[in-house]
Amino acid sequence: MDRRWGFLIGLLSAAWLLLRSGHDEPRPPETAAQRCFCQVSGYLDDCTCDVETIDKFNNYRLFPRLQKLLESDYFRYYKVNLRRPCPFWKDISQCGRRDCAVKPCQSDEVPDGIKSASYKYSEEGNNLIEECEQAERLGAVDESLSEETQKAVLQWTKHDDSSDNFCEADDIQSPDAEYVDLLLNPERYTGYKGPDAWRIWNVIYEENCFKPQTIKRPLNPLASSQGKSEENTFYSWLEGLCVEKRAFYRLISGLHASINVHLSARYLLQDTWLEQIWGHNVTEFQQRFDGILTEGEGPRRLKNLYFLYLIELKALSKVVPFFERPDFQLFTGNKVQDADNKILLLEILHEIKSFPLHFDENSFFAGDKKEANKLKEEFRLHFRNISRIMDCVGCFKCRLWGKLQTQGLGTALKILFSEKLIANMPESGPSYEFQLTRQEIVSLFNAFGRISTSVKELENFRNLLQNVR
């Protein structure tokens, strides 16, 4: 009996030691991919969509066709004024690196159809606007215009005043405005960094994202905060904001994250007198998005990037009727290519419209009408201010892409706030209530193309980081 009890006790002791030893064994360290992406999965905050659905839709159904569209003449040439002075401070340090430079197009490099329609989007549209502009000039001395013409002039004047725009657009008629070939001036790492670069984002976050002045953000928004409690303090104010203001912050953070993904994916890996080699810089990506290196802030940035993707995706789904009108053209002067590109554009837009988990914006600005209108105006003014800050960027290539992506997001917000105007557009003929200039169209699709590229690049970085400890 004693021997049996002794055997049983010994067996239980061995089992206990075995079980305990299993618990005491150290777990394998997380991979770099897990530290960057473990929190970037499942449903997004304030949304019913999940990250995995976005990845699959973007990377395999949308991205290839969108890139093909953006390589066409209509979308590759963007007119921009990179010489506008900074309206907020004068001590701008211009980047002297060769990769900061932007090479503008020579006059004969831009299709004639684009140069003659810098503000317009179709041959018919050109004629119509010229008639309206002429009527407006005549209206100053001739009061005999018909009531219909006077109404048209007022509508166009109202549009030209940009009261519905979220960006302070360049004066593209200025002698300083030049066409830039976006394919020959790609967004990539230029070496522009340090206090001058941090100052731009710091002003954006501090003064334009509805943040209380009592909450301080570190000077370098890419760096982790000085302590965990400080980081929690910084983000705790977001939880107390209404959903609209919280969304505004997440849009700006998502844009910031998207830009940093591009810089990490197109990094100068080798620079010799023979050649420059550009590619993925895993270390740079980790510094910006690793959960440990950023004390939890990096994955939050990536989730905001997906939030931005959904917002711009929804705007594109809303504006389909504008592009479906038979008189709309992607006008460059080459009728065959213009027709083919419109077909491709509509295919992309209908693909976007079929996305199963679109962001539901109905909860936005759904309260008291007076308060909702006030909040919309705050949105517009804050975002216009951010668009002006882009003229303070010291690197010209960074300024180019910053201005384009800001205008693209501003155009997306304009669309979302113009849903009723879009719904009431005539099926053909001029639309006086809702218009998009060529500049807005080019920036809208190129900005979304940048975000789509970011989502695609996240898949590449996941794979590259899979075996990195």
Looking at the predicted structure, is the pLDDT value of residue 15 above 60? no
Q: Cβ neighbours of residue 39 under 8 Å, at least 6 residues apart?
A: 291, 299, 300, 303
Is 190 marked as a binding-site residue? yes
Average pLDDT, integer, range 318-344? 93
Half-sphere exposure of 269 (CA within 13 A, CB side): 10
What pLDDT does residue 19 have? 43
| Token pair belonging to 345 | 């554009």
pLDDT digits (tens, 9 = 90+) for 378-425: 888 888 888 899 999 999 999 999 999 999 999 999 998 888 888 888
| Token pair belonging to 230 | 């400080």
Average pLDDT, integer, range 70-74? 96
Element (H, E) at 364: none
Looking at the predicted structure, is the pLDDT value of residue 139 above 50? no
> Could you tell me what percent of the chain has a pLDDT over 90?
39
Confidence of residue 147 (pLDDT cuts 50, 70, 90): low
Is 16 marked as a binding-site residue? no
Looking at the predicted structure, is the pLDDT value of residue 466 above 60? yes
Confidence of residue 26 (pLDDT cuts 50, 70, 90): low
| Token pair belonging to 155 | 């509508």
The residues spanned by each domain of the chain are 48-99+137-213+232-467
Looking at the predicted structure, is the pLDDT value of residue 133 above 80? no
Is 253 marked as a binding-site residue? yes
What pLDDT does residue 20 have? 45
Is 380 marked as a binding-site residue? no
What pLDDT does residue 29 have? 60
Looking at the predicted structure, is the pLDDT value of residue 342 above 80? yes
Backbone angles phi, psi at 50, to 5 degrees: -115, 155
Answer yes or no: 398 catalytic: yes
Average pLDDT, integer, range 279-298? 90
DSSP track, 181-214: ETTTS-----S--SHHHHHHHHHHHHHHS---TT
pLDDT digits (tens, 9 = 90+) for 236-282: 666 667 777 888 889 999 999 999 999 999 999 988 878 889 999 99
> Do residues 394 and 92 touch, judged by C-beta distance below 8 A?
yes
Answer yes or no: 47 catalytic: no
Half-sphere exposure of 202 (CA within 13 A, CB side): 13
Angle between helices 282-289 and 438-465 (to 10 degrees): 100
365 Rama sector, left if φ>0, alpha if ψ -120 to 50, beta otherwise: left
What pLDDT does residue 391 have? 92
Question: Which is nearest to 330 in space by CA: 445, 177, 214, 186?
Answer: 445
188 vs 233, residue with greater confidence: 188
What pLDDT does residue 297 have? 86
**Pairing between strand 276-279 and 267-271?**
antiparallel
- Which residue among the candidates 47, 132, 167, 398 is catalytic per the annotation? 398
Confidence of residue 128 (pLDDT cuts 50, 70, 90): very low
Q: Is the pTM of this model over 0.85?
A: no
Instruction: Looking at 25-97, list the stretches that DSSP marks H as alpha helix, in order from N- to C-terminal side.
Output: 32-37, 51-57, 63-70, 73-76
